[in-house]
A and B are shown apart, each in its own frame.
Chain A
Amino acid sequence: MIITINGRQCEAEHGEFILDVALRNGIQIPTLCHSEALPGLASCRLCIVEVIENNWSKVVASCVYPITSEIEVVTHSEKIKRMRKTLLKLLGARAPQNAYVRKLLAEHEVTPAARFQGDPDENCIMCGLCVSACDKIGAGAISTVYRGIAKKVSTPYDEPSKTCIGCSACAGVCPTGAIKVQESHGKRIIWKKEFELLSCAVCGKPFITPEQIAYLKAKLNQEIDEILCETCKRKAAGERFAQTCADLTASKGLLR
């Protein structure tokens, strides 16, 4: 079906999310908690847009709003811009010193509100991506605890979690860098838990925890005989690829 975004006609499938259609058509909508791999959080609300249908306008989160009829979407109306600024103001009040948050505010020309007492050590904006990532891995080591304004991300009872495998996937998805990962002397500390690090068979860089290896083994259901870090793995794959290409071209006699 055809929907209009900011007056432009865009092709959309039934059930597709507004955000995806917009991005495909080069229309930018700010997002914070959205990740293609971990969809559906809809917690930050930065991606709000106005949907107009039967002469009736409503504000929706574009990352989770499925298109089911030929709607009209406005992504940057005065109202939306105003509300987005207020959201960013609230974000700035929560994590006033966080570099990423400050950058976001600056990009949208929002000056932090002096009225609020922000915690200078707060970096987490409660988007929920880390919890989703950990759940997706299947570790379930972290979750949100408490309700309301006290809600936070934590391991059970704030103690080192039994199920954490030290993969730092949580830290990887965190948009604000709120999850601290300390790595030194072949050790990694994350969420108060200390892990030994195994080294890459090629470059010797310590990079993976034994718990991660065990997890991978179980998941892939096969032995892992050579531990390679991402860089070396990519390099090795690249070399293999180059070799294959070379073999291929050579075998076809196309090399002069």
Chain B
Amino acid sequence: MSESNRPKRTILVCCGTGCLANHSLKIYHKLKELITKAGVDVAVETYIKTTGCNGLCEKGPIVKITPDDIAYFKVKESDVEEIFEKTILQGEVINRLLYLDSVTGKRFKSHKENDFYKRQMKIALRNIGEIDPADIFDYIERGGYESLKKALFTMTPESIIEEVVKSGLRGRGGAGFPTGRKWKQCAGYNNYPKYVLCNGDEGDPGAFMDRSIMEGDPHSIIEGMAICAYALGSNTGFAYIRDEYALAVKNMSNAINKAKEAKFLGENILGSGFNFDIQIVRGGGAFVCGESTALMSSIEGKVGEPRAKYIRSVEKGLWGQPTVLNNVETWANIPVIIEKGGEWYSGIGAPKSTGTKVFSLVGKIRNTGLVEVPMGIALRELIFDIGGGITAGRKFKAVQTGGPSGGCIPESLLDLNVDFDSLTKAGSMMGSGGMIVMDERTCMVDVARYYLNFLAEESCGKCLPCREGIKRMLEILNSICAGKGLAGDIELLQEICATVSEASLCALGKSAPNPVVTTIHYFEDEYLAHIRDKRCPAGVCKELTTYYIDPENCKGCGLCLKNCPAGAVSGQPKSWHSIDQKLCIKCGNCIDNCKFHAVKIR
């Protein structure tokens, strides 16, 4: 703490994985160097911290200065000196580095002013980017571990569980099972030891909210788990972390050690007599290891394969003992619920999907990154206001939600409120909160094929419907995309979907048909165009695409000619260009580069 009443001036350099890749570490070192050097004769109170992911990855590296509340985006190493001289020494704002709103063209001084941040409400991500994950006192300064104290010394196990039940919190890992109910069920079994597990496997490609919490605010997870452990009478916890997440593993283990030193974990926590410790287990390296029974097998040292789960883990989980497994983001919500009360939490979001949810917005959208918003937000607001709409002036076509076995939601449902039940009703799911935005140049049959391909590799392959069903669906989709689709294919796909979705052993197989079911449901025309007319309307499936240049629109600018790698385009400047079909390799460069929409797909 500084001697004066003014809070200490701090420069925060985002060192999440996205920003790190953009050399934020170099920026950090350079800033630090300049400040130490100048520190001798210039009295500026500044220090630098490495903070977790800020969410707006596409605009990284991000440098924030508090309490000035200035946020700079896309900072380059060459900008550091200017930031130091102008902003740090003279308090001047560098306009060029401020956030540029792609819709309004306005620049914002504070990261809290722009639409991407303004419409967000941060609970699970409350500390991300604001604290140094390596420094437990940063967490404590912001009220960290107060909820654990409150739980240990002023609440009974029953009242803790009651608070979580009241909050309406549902699991953020995919299935949306009410967290309080899960805890209550587990508390009902008088069988010890009990285990408390954290699912940090995060296998969904494109989702990285769990990584960002484990990297940027590990103590919020630890605190959540400790509160639950106290309520259940559990003394052992495991944090199962995806193997590729080296930084998450590092920050989590460091945080566990710090928490132990500070008596928030370990024997006789804060003198309460309660013991709880957390061990880290590195993931088995497969998507399916995130499934609860596979995860538990993996922790037990067995192959990470799902097993029949007709007896729930709250009764017989890890090593056959009562177990509560929750997702990283679920855990991060717990301290806030205990602090502010279940009722407060249940007032946020939608009636049956309370609170906030972190989404990772990716795909053909202007602002990509993590956003945390109240549940029930309209898809349109999420994609167009926060996400800034579709890139390159194209049209929105669909948004894929829920990870690889989620579904595709079409434009006609843009006003859908995003919550567990409405997404399921639309044939998709919440999943972990991945949202992949697709534009008009996306072929929906190809999309279904893409996800099935992922699942074909990532299913554990143990049970017949999932393994063989996915294989055969993929075979049909491949042949449709290659122009060899047959009448009856759609019906056959639907028949397989119906069986796989109910007869499979675990939820991977049960949800695997979603990409196929939803694309057929919302985009059947596109399937028919492929099968019947041997045409890919989006111009993606090469065998089914013919590009031609419409003389009406062609201005003869020659951009298509310049970008064609096959020399298939010919034409004189300012006159109509044309494509030689024999030479065309269907790369799509012409259509992607033409500014006049003159290149068309037949």
Cβ-closest 4 pairs across A and B: A151-B461, A90-B468, A86-B499, A149-B471
* Closest Cβ–Cβ distance, residue A154 to chain B (whole Å): 13
- Count, chain A residues at interface, CB 8 A: 35
B499 cross-chain contacts in A, Cβ below 8 A: 82-83, 86-87, 90
* Closest Cβ–Cβ distance, residue A117 to chain B (whole Å): 7
Interface residues of B in 147-194 (CB under 8 A from A): none
Contact between B459 and A148, CB atoms less than 8 A apart: yes
A147's partner among B311, B458, B463, B502 (CB-CB below 8 A) is: B458
* Closest Cβ–Cβ distance, residue A20 to chain B (whole Å): 14
Listed A/B pairs (6) with beta-carbon separation below 8 Å: A45-B463, A59-B502, A86-B495, A126-B462, A149-B468, A151-B461
Contact between B464 and A125, CB atoms less than 8 A apart: yes
B463's partner among A42, A65, A94 (CB-CB below 8 A) is: A42
CA A87 – CA B414 in complex, angstroms? 36
* Closest Cβ–Cβ distance, residue B472 to chain A (whole Å): 6
Contact between A151 and B462, CB atoms less than 8 A apart: yes
CA A186 – CA B468 in complex, angstroms? 39
Interface residues of B in 306-353 (CB under 8 A from A): 307-308, 310-311
A104 cross-chain contacts in B, Cβ below 8 A: none
CA A126 – CA B468 in complex, angstroms? 10
CA A230 – CA B471 in complex, angstroms? 42
Given contacts A43-B505, A61-B308, A86-B499, list 8 more A-B pairs with CB under 8 A: A40-B307, A43-B462, A45-B465, A59-B502, A83-B503, A93-B468, A147-B457, A147-B458
B458 cross-chain contacts in A, Cβ below 8 A: 147-148
A86 cross-chain contacts in B, Cβ below 8 A: 495-496, 498-499
A144 cross-chain contacts in B, Cβ below 8 A: 461-462
A117 cross-chain contacts in B, Cβ below 8 A: 475
Contact between A64 and B310, CB atoms less than 8 A apart: yes
* Closest Cβ–Cβ distance, residue B142 to chain A (whole Å): 42
* Closest Cβ–Cβ distance, residue A111 to chain B (whole Å): 13
B476 cross-chain contacts in A, Cβ below 8 A: 115
Contact residues of A with B, CB < 8 Å? 40, 42-46, 48, 59-61, 64-66, 82-83, 86-87, 90-91, 93-94, 113, 115-117, 125-126, 128, 144, 146-151
CA A93 – CA B495 in complex, angstroms? 15
CA A48 – CA B499 in complex, angstroms? 11
Assess whether B209 is interfacial by the CB under 8 Å rule.
no
Assess whether B11 is interfacial by the CB under 8 Å rule.
no
* Closest Cβ–Cβ distance, residue B199 to chain A (whole Å): 19
- Count, chain B residues at interface, CB 8 A: 38
Contact between B503 and A59, CB atoms less than 8 A apart: yes
CA A40 – CA B306 in complex, angstroms? 12
CA A113 – CA B493 in complex, angstroms? 12
Interface residues of B in 528-557 (CB under 8 A from A): none
Residue interface bits B505-541, CB-to-A below 8 A is 1, else 0? 1000000000000000000000000000000000000
B464 cross-chain contacts in A, Cβ below 8 A: 43-46, 87, 90-91, 125-126
A45 cross-chain contacts in B, Cβ below 8 A: 463-465, 503-505
Contact between B461 and A148, CB atoms less than 8 A apart: yes
* Closest Cβ–Cβ distance, residue A100 to chain B (whole Å): 15
* Closest Cβ–Cβ distance, residue B462 to chain A (whole Å): 5
CA A8 – CA B489 in complex, angstroms? 40
The chain A residue with its CB closest to the CB of B474 is A149
Q: Given A64-B310, A125-B464, A116 and B472 touching (CB < 8 A)?
A: yes
Interface residues of B in 435-477 (CB under 8 A from A): 455-465, 467-472, 474-476
Assess whether B262 is interfacial by the CB under 8 Å rule.
no
The chain A residue with its CB closest to the CB of B462 is A43
Contact between B455 and A148, CB atoms less than 8 A apart: yes
The chain A residue with its CB closest to the CB of B306 is A42
A43 cross-chain contacts in B, Cβ below 8 A: 462-464, 505
Assess whether B44 is interfacial by the CB under 8 Å rule.
no
